[in-house]
Structure 1
Amino acid sequence: MSDSPAPGADPQTEAAVLAAADAIVDDFGHHRTAAYFAGFADDATFVFHTHDRRLESRADYEALWAQWERVDGFRVHGCRSSDRRVQVLGDVAIFTHAVHSTIELGGEVSQVDERETIVFQQRDGRWLAVHEHLSPAG
């Protein structure tokens, strides 16, 4: 379960949302690009503190990711999630956590600490991410 369960949350639903979040974090941390993006709906939106505008779709994010790889030598070497919480609101769930990533850019590997919110919606029997927001920790 989550580190901090929401009051009155259905344990099965919370576990399903957490499993979807864990898959996204694990796929990101192992740089499994196709599997990572499969956790997001086509119409998902993304807000990153490192980017100057909201990304309006998964395709926009995939294009930006490919640019990072091509231009900056972007590679994810690991990702760890902590201080996790799931809040379920009907067919929508909000997952918040602290995320610690090991990222490579331009041949230099660095550690990045951020806070993240991922909003999930149940679609066709599975929890898909429909919005992701990253902000710097601290």
Structure 2
Amino acid sequence: MAHVKQFQSILMSKSMRGLCKEEDYAFLGIPKSSIKGYIEGQTTLEDDWRDNKEARVRRRLEREKREQERLKAVEESKKKKEWLWKIHIEDLTFRQEKDLQDRLARLQRFREFQRKVLEEEEGTEGEAASQLLTRM
């Protein structure tokens, strides 16, 4: 049946294709009863093939949809992690700046305390205390 493969690409209606098959089998001398069984078998095979093809297409579309959903979930997770990291860095920076400002304020209070102490001692020691005051 090599001629079936050769002429399969020619477009024609189903009824016309059926007539051609009947004529082929009549030419070959095969009885009509076996032709009808063969044609019914062919249509069943074609229907099965179409059903299988539709099922494959449906499964492929479902796989693509699941993959898109997975990629979307990964992207959202990535964005959430980046947002949490950004918040963490901002909080860490804020705490470090606050610690530095507190430290600066303590140092300034300590320096003021040292100056007061040196100014009080200046009256007693005079020049030694003024040298310390100028060094600071």
Question: What's the TM-score, normalizing by structure 2?
Answer: 0.20
Greater strand fraction, Structure 1 or Structure 2: 1
Q: Which has the higher helix share?
A: 2
Q: Is the radius of gyration larger for structure 1 or structure 2?
A: 2
